[in-house]
Amino acid sequence: MNIAVIARRIFFFFVVVWAASTITFFIPRISTRNPIRERFAQLAQTGGFSPGDLEQIIESFTKQFGLDRPLFDQYVDYLWSVVNFDFGFSLNRYPTTVTDLIAQSLPWTIGLLLVTTILSFVIGNLLGAIAAWPRAPKGWRNFALPFVLLMGVPPVLMGVLLLFFVGFRLGLLPLGGAYSIGVVPNWSWSFALDMLKHQVLPALALILGTVGSWVLTMRGMGITIQGEDYVNYAEHKGLSGGRIFRDYYVRNALLPQVTGFALALGTVVTSAIIVEGIFFLPGIGTVLINAIRANDYPVIYGVVLFITIAIAFIMTLMEFIYPLLDPRIRNQ
């Protein structure tokens, strides 16, 4: 891969970030709604604010957030804050910054996404390859069928079903939360097991809802590759079935799946965020849902923009990794 290709891909990454930032900035300003006024109007309903005090508070926060300045000046300041990963303050939890809220919730989201995405990708592609491999035992080939049937159930609905039947009706696993109520987080095996027990249902919801798509696409690629010349040549050379399956069959069928993995990241991240909210995990999904309920617009915009930048970065990274897997692209 030459320097020009690398520079072009990095340039497109910054273009995507700029476009997402611009859309995130202008869409809320098309509306005539004032997030600060709406937020403090909700607080005023609970009492404790006189009309005069309320107007002074709204005016003070409007100046602090820069909403009284010209639109172009706001836009320039906004882009500069995006470059510095400074998404402003939370209206609901002022003076906590949006960056602090994201940093506190990010480890939970990364842990859930990393484990479930890797497991669903590995399990789905392995089962799909076995389902299409003619030498595989029939029982192993049919083992992928239940996962294909579950493909029609979105991860969000899968989470609700698991929550009701496994958590509520059977009582086998906790209904939600990151760990048991009253437990103090600490570095111990008992806390780790308790935390792991709370992650099983959301992880299963994401895995069971996504494995089937990997099974189908990998099975289709496996059937296509079976007739390729290099597979037939390997069979005529007398290579073992295991080596053909690993080096000639799975390795080549997996290349398009890597591209599909990058394209599916947006759906996976969106599903994970909603599943986090269902199970009350302290991840980015819960932060976003709480911000929507509280009309905390800076947090909503900050989380959405952060997710967009993260997905764009991962997709750009996958474009650099793919040539390492496919020599035909690396040598171009």
Whole-number pLDDT of residue 127: 86
Instruction: Classify residue 2 by its DSSP letter.
Output: -
Rank 87-101, 112-126, 295-309 by mean pLDDT and report only the highest: 112-126
Is it the case that residue 69 has pLDDT exceeding 80?
no
- Segment 86-113 shows an average pLDDT of 82
Query: How confident is the model at residue 294, as a pLDDT?
Result: 74
The arithmetic mean of pLDDT across residues 36-51, rounded, is 65
Q: Is the pLDDT of residue 40 over 80?
A: no
Distance of CA 8 to the CA centre of its chain: 25
Determine the residue type at 219.
R
Q: How confident is the model at residue 330 (pLDDT cuts 50, 70, 90)?
A: low
- Band of residue 50 on the pLDDT scale cut at 50, 70, 90: low
pLDDT at position 155: 82
Domains and CATH numbers, the chain: 101-295 (1.10.3720.10)
pLDDT tens sequence across 273-315? 888 888 888 888 888 888 877 777 778 888 888 888 888 888 8
Torsion angles phi and psi, residue 266, rounded to 5: -60, -45
- Mapped onto helix, strand or coil, the DSSP state of residue 97 is strand
What are φ and ψ of residue 68, in 5° steps?
Answer: -90, 0
To the nearest whole percent, how much of the chain has pLDDT over 70? 85
Who wins on pLDDT, 178 or 40? Answer: 178
The region, left, alpha or beta by phi > 0 then psi within -120 to 50, assigned to residue 179 is: beta
Q: What is the mean pLDDT of the chain?
A: 78
CA distance 296 to 314: 27
Token output for 254: 């997996």
pLDDT tier for residue 70 given thresholds of 50, 70 and 90: confident
For residue 54, what pLDDT is reported? 65
Supply 98's token pair.
Answer: 């949006």
> What is the distance between the alpha carbons of residues 121 and 212, in angstroms, rounded to a whole number?
10
Q: CA geometry: angle at 69 spanning 68 and 74, to 5°?
A: 120
Say which residue the tokens 């939890």 belong to. 93
User: Distance between terminal CA atoms of the chain?
Assistant: 7
Q: Kindly report, residue by residue over 121-150, the tens digit of the pLDDT.
A: 888 888 888 888 877 777 777 777 888 888
Greater confidence (202 vs 240) lies with 202
Could you report the per-residue pLDDT of 147-193, keeping only the tens digit for each? 888 877 888 888 888 888 888 888 888 887 777 777 777 777 888 88
pLDDT of residue 33: 65
What is the C-alpha separation between 298 and 31, in angstroms, rounded?
A: 15
